[in-house]
């Protein structure tokens, strides 16, 4: 017999849990299906890179993420103009365009312009018609050696921060950081009073 003020045992265990179990037996088949779809897409879009158009380097939004560099939506019109690429031509040669984006700093503008120039130098443009080559199309020799880029083209590479090692000197060892902070705080607190005293002393000297 149970003692004290407990809940009366009344367990509901016959819930037919087998009906609510979600299985994932189709995972291996889906993996194969996705791989075949990627291969078909690569053949269909040849000679374009499989990862899609070129993306710019942008900084993340807000104070938490703005130090991180990632791939953005598209190049701004200012960047395309600086690189000498018309905005109507850019999407046709595998460059993504974002007409709403604005450049807030000179550094990011220069980095993306350089990215566009590097891409343009390596670009191989196939003619629309095999027998009719137009201005801007690549030479037959370049077309013969051209290969399709698999995976990310010009991926975002983050620079690893370097640590400079310094030899600890006797002067560093003898330095009292806490005492120095206390002195500087005192100086900051008394700066107004000391300026006032110095001004008064100067007036008395003139008299």
Q: What's the farthest any 2 CA atoms get from each other in the chain?
A: 104
**Assessment of whether the complete model's pTM goes beyond 0.75:** no
- Given this model, what pLDDT does residue 1 score? 62
Give the single-character DSSP code of 59: E
Return the pLDDT at 102. Answer: 95
The pLDDT value recorded for residue 151 is 84
Q: What is the DSSP letter of 91?
A: G
Show the beta-strand stretches assigned E in 32-170.
Answer: 57-59, 69-71
pLDDT in tens, the chain (207 residues): 668 888 888 888 888 888 889 999 999 999 999 999 999 999 998 888 899 899 999 999 999 999 999 999 999 999 999 999 999 999 999 999 999 999 999 999 999 999 999 999 988 888 877 777 676 677 777 777 788 888 888 899 888 888 999 999 999 999 999 999 999 999 999 999 999 999 999 988 887
Q: Name, in order, each residue with C-beta under 8 angstroms of 118's C-beta and a sequence gap of 6 or more.
A: 154
Q: Which two tokens stand for residue 19?
A: 């009906």
The span from the CA of 182 to the CA of 193, in Å, is: 18
Would you state the pLDDT for residue 38? 94
- Residue 75: which residues within 8 A CB-CB, separation 6 or more? 54, 56, 90, 95, 96, 97, 98, 101, 112, 116
């Amino acid at each position: 017999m149970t003692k004290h003020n407990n809940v009366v045992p009344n367990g509901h265990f016959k819930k037919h849990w087998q009906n609510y179990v979600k299985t994932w037996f189709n995972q291996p088949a889906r993996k194969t299906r996705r791989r075949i779809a990627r291969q078909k897409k690569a053949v269909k879009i040849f000679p374009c890179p499989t990862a899609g158009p070129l993306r710019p380097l942008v900084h993340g939004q807000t104070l938490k993420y703005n130090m991180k560099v990632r791939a953005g939506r598209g190049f701004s019109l200012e960047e395309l103009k600086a690189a000498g690429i018309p905005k109507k031509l850019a999407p046709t040669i595998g460059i993504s365009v974002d007409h709403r984006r604005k450049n807030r700093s000179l550094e990011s503008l220069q980095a993306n312009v350089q990215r566009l120039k590097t891409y343009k130098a390596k670009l191989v443009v196939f003619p629309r018609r095999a027998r009719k080559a137009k201005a801007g199309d690549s030479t037959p020799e370049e077309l013969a050696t051209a290969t399709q880029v698999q995976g990310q083209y010009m991926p975002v590479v983050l620079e690893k921060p370097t640590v400079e090692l310094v030899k600890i000197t006797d002067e560093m060892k003898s330095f009292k950081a806490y005492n120095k902070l206390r002195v500087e705080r005192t100086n900051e607190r008394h700066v107004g009073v000391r300026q006032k005293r110095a001004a008064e002393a100067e007036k008395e000297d003139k008299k």
